[in-house]
Amino acid sequence: MERLIILWQSTGLAAMTWGAAIMMAVGALLLYLAIHKKFEPLLLLPIGFGAILANIPGAGLADPGGILYAIYAVGIETGVFPLLIFMGVGAMTDFGPLLANPRTLLLGGAAQFGIFATLLGAIALNALPGFEFTLADAAAIAIIGGADGPTAIFLASKLAPELLGAIAVAAYSYMALVPIIQPPIMKLLTTASERSITMQQLRPVERREKILFPLAVLALTLLFLPTATPLVGMFCFGNLMREAGVVDRLSKTAQNELINIVTIFLGLAVGSKLSADEFLSLQTVGILVLGAVAFSIGTAAGVLMAKLMNKLSSQPINPLIGAAGVSAVPMAARVVNKVGLEANANNYLLMHAMGPNVAGVLGSAVAAGILLALIG
């Protein structure tokens, strides 16, 4: 009998707590969303599986000495994984639409308004019982509004590592929900005639412009916002490899093998932070709500800026493209194109929307740099 008791106590069932069981269910839900609903499967699948592994009683995978602990320490605490992701994204990004219509840079900037509005909202939540967000916590939460997972993880690891799991899950969940969240906001803020506006064809962009652009962006970052250099610098390096045309092997590696490997480890590392003691709290609910608010405000700000630009511009600008100012590339641009086609079957906005979409990537990195400079 004594041996049976010892055997029972060594099982996971004997050590299982309600909190661990709930978090394993959350991990299973993320797997369901990734596999069945195809919501951001590249990240939600490893995050969900990592959450299950981290909450298995007695396994110790997320404890010091465990593999998930080591992955997190090497890749997230140091900030290496988000930076490598940014390099890969840069190698996959074509700045042609932005260079062909530089005005769309304003739309990428306007969409970041959601970040700073939510910063104030997170501080305001402290007036309610149960919420104790510091300024650093609020800044890390607010970056969710940029709809940029790597930037959110990078900033959270620097300012509020204890909130990393909730922030990462919120960021990637709302990125996956772009086709659901954005269209109602876009339609609410625009008229049918505005959604039907046809824009002029973009001009061809020379190779020289594409090579000089990442170098110019890096130079401006070094001069005016050095704290954004890690994100912007890796992004520009990846893009320069793409556009230079002399290191195709390196560019393709950054776009494929490297970013895929890092994505696996990044997801597992984030999943390791979804432990019951860190995730199951009222603050997590606040983070999820604030993330939705941030994303919605960012979308609305981009659309309203595009409406203003259309009023002031001699050339027609479809206000829908402002919604692509959030940096969910290229999903937000595809949503803009879809809503535009619903209003006008001959209105193809994809390439026009890619301008503010890639501008949003830079915008979120700059916003993170500003927050680091002011708070970090």
Dihedral (Cα; 286, 262, 159, 226), 10-degree rounding: -130
Tell me the per-residue pLDDT of 315-358, one tens digit each, with 9 for 90 and over.
899 999 999 998 888 889 999 999 999 999 988 999 999 999 99
The yes-or-no verdict on residue 20 having pLDDT over 70 is yes
Tell me the per-residue pLDDT of 72-108, one tens digit each, with 9 for 90 and over.
999 998 889 999 999 999 999 999 999 999 999 999 9
The yes-or-no verdict on residue 5 having pLDDT over 70 is no
Backbone angles phi, psi at 112, to 5 degrees: -80, -5
Indicate the residue type of 371.
L
Q: pLDDT tier at 4 (50, 70, 90 boundaries)?
A: low
Lowest-confidence segment of 31-35, 112-116, 169-173 by average pLDDT = 169-173
Contact present, 105 and 86 (Cβ < 8 Å): no
DSSP 125: G
Instruction: Give the model's pLDDT for residue 7.
Output: 58
Mean pLDDT (whole number) for 133-158 = 90
The yes-or-no verdict on residue 274 having pLDDT over 80 is yes
370 C-beta neighbours (distance < 10 Å), count: 17
Mean pLDDT (whole number) for 234-253 = 97
Contact present, 23 and 29 (Cβ < 8 Å): no
Mean pLDDT (whole number) for 257-270 = 94
Angle, to 10 degrees, between the axis of helix 164-176 and the axis of helix 282-312? Answer: 40
Instruction: Give the model's pLDDT for residue 367.
Output: 92
Cβ-Cβ contacts under 8 Å for 115 (sequence gap 6 or more): 142, 143, 145, 146, 294, 298, 364, 367, 371
Instruction: Give the model's pLDDT for residue 235.
Output: 96
Phi-psi group of 38: left, alpha or beta (phi > 0 → left; psi -120 to 50 → alpha; rest → beta): left
6 C-beta neighbours (distance < 10 Å), count: 9
The yes-or-no verdict on residue 194 having pLDDT over 90 is yes
Contact present, 196 and 343 (Cβ < 8 Å): yes
267 C-beta neighbours (distance < 10 Å), count: 28
Cβ-Cβ contacts under 8 Å for 141 (sequence gap 6 or more): 118, 119, 122, 133, 160, 163, 167, 286, 287, 290, 291, 294
Give the burial string for 350-361 (b: 16+ CB within 10 Å, else e). Answer: bbbbbbbbbbbb
3-state secondary structure of 136: helix
Q: HSE-up of 7 (CA within 13 Å, CB side)?
A: 4
Q: pLDDT tier at 314 (50, 70, 90 boundaries)?
A: confident
Instruction: Give the model's pLDDT for residue 309.
Output: 95
The yes-or-no verdict on residue 12 having pLDDT over 80 is no
Contact present, 325 and 73 (Cβ < 8 Å): no
Instruction: Give the model's pLDDT for residue 14.
Output: 59
Q: Quick one: what percent of the chain has pLDDT higher than 70?
A: 96
The candidate with the shortest Cα–Cα distance to 323, out of 362, 365, 357, 366, is 357
3-state secondary structure of 79: coil
The yes-or-no verdict on residue 2 having pLDDT over 70 is no
The yes-or-no verdict on residue 137 having pLDDT over 90 is yes
The C-alpha atoms of residue 251 and residue 260 are separated, in whole angstroms, by 13
Tell me the per-residue pLDDT of 29-70, one tens digit each, with 9 for 90 and over.
999 989 998 888 988 899 999 999 999 887 889 889 999 999
Q: Which residue has the higher pLDDT, 172 or 299?
A: 299
**DSSP H helices in 245-349:** 248-253, 259-271, 276-279, 282-312, 331-343
Tabulate helix, strand, coil % of the chain (nearest 5). Answer: 75, 0, 25
What rounded mean pLDDT belongs to the chain? 90
Q: Quick one: what percent of the chain has pLDDT higher than 90?
A: 64
